[in-house]
Homo-oligomer: A and B are copies of this chain.
Amino acid sequence: MSEKISIKPRAMMYPAPAIIVSAYDENKKADACTLAFATMCSHKPPCVMIAINTTAKRKTLKDILLNKEFTLGFPNTQQVTETDYIGIASGYDKDKLEKVSWTTTESSNINAPIINELKVSLECRVINIVEVGSHTQITGEVVNIVADKEVLDDDGRISLKKLNPIVYDDVLYDYFEVGEKIDDAFKPGLKYMK
């Protein structure tokens, strides 16, 4: 057994995503911000949870709390520059989407903008909000998903390799791509079921 050492407490997750949430402000202007604090959190109904810094200057948080609806999109590795910028800049100072030349279409299900350049977007209706620590945890029920055909497999399901999402490292502050498939899920472990 190798030696274990204690290191300073901090939040970490391996892997963490780099996703983009988007919402309308009070003037129906689309805003967006990049987040790494996001996870699936319920099967029935299907939900995702995002956590946004409560005290930081986050226009998108204000907009989501206003509308109780948002979209969550997955940028790909070719969009890392835009994704990084949307995480750095504030929607109070700049029209971030215009700055990166991204466009939006209003969802036909919720009052939130879908970023056209993102290949997959979840349309979410807020069903729970709770402040914990420095962040506001927002659970959104996924009421619809829009996807570009090019990221779907022959059965109409999203292909991770075609989507090519960004992996974010919040410790060394790097972006990675997803690599090779190493195994099927719910299969290798069956050898221990005998």
Measured CB to CB, the residues of A under 8 A from B are 1-17, 19, 36-49, 51, 53, 74, 77, 80-89, 99-100, 103, 114, 116, 120, 122, 127-128, 130, 132-135, 137, 139, 141-150, 152-153, 156-160, 163, 165-193
Please give, as numbers and ranges, the residues of chain B lying within 8 Å of A180 by CB-CB distance: 176-177, 179
B190 near A146: Cβ-Cβ < 8 Å: no
Picked from B44, B137, B158, the residue with its CB within 8 Å of the CB of A137 is: B137
Each complex incorporates copies of this chain amounting to: 2
A189 near B83: Cβ-Cβ < 8 Å: yes
Q: Taking each of A120, A137, A177, A189, which has the highest tally of chain B beta carbons within 10 Å of its own beta carbon?
A: A189
A51 to chain B, nearest CB (A): 4
In the docked arrangement, what's the CA distance between A127 and B146, Å? 35
B10 near A188: Cβ-Cβ < 8 Å: no
Picked from B46, B49, B144, the residue with its CB within 8 Å of the CB of A6 is: B144
Please give, as numbers and ranges, the residues of chain B lying within 8 Å of A42 by CB-CB distance: 11, 51, 132-135
